[in-house]
Amino acid sequence: MDLLPAGEKRILDLHDLDEMRLNAYENARIYKERTKQIHDKRIMPREFSEGNLVLLFNSRLRLFPGKLKSRWSGPFRVRTVFPFGAVELENKEGQTFKVNGQRLKHYIADHPQEMRVNLDLSDPAQIEA
């Protein structure tokens, strides 16, 4: 058994292992960049100004029963818009709190009457033969 070629092979194997590790880190970085681009593309830009009415998404509503219960609460009034997406809201009692702007959507209070549709479902239509 020759120790010199065995030592050289061991060093080459260690270099190959380092190269594979660096390739794995590079592939993970590329994957994270691509998933971030896909995620950022799906985010809808929302612009809020002071005085707007907004709804707040409540992601912790899982405690309450009823899967059809709305997760949007509000309306709240926008008091201050901070840089980088933070928004200060005011509720009906005048209390204020800050939230991330991604958890908000505009509240449209006044829909025109002609846009509303009333359907009477109590009496089904009679089909005449």
> Domain extents for the chain?
1-42, 53-110
Does the pLDDT of residue 129 top 60, yes or no? no
Burial class (CB in 10 A: 0-12, 13-18, 19+), 79: middle
What are the pLDDT digits (tens) for 11-25? 999 999 999 999 999
Q: What is the pTM of this model?
A: 0.53
Confirm or reject CATH 2.30.30.140 for domain 53-110, answering yes or no.
yes
What gap in Å lies between CA 129 and CA 127, rounded to an integer?
A: 6
Q: Which of 129, 109, 118, 114 is nearest to 53 (CA)?
A: 109
What gap in Å lies between CA 69 and CA 61, rounded to an integer?
A: 9
In this predicted structure, what is the pLDDT of residue 124?
A: 62
Q: ∠ at Cα 98 (93, 100), nearest 5°?
A: 130
What are the pLDDT digits (tens) for 65-117? 666 777 888 889 999 999 888 999 998 998 999 999 888 988 887 655 566 66
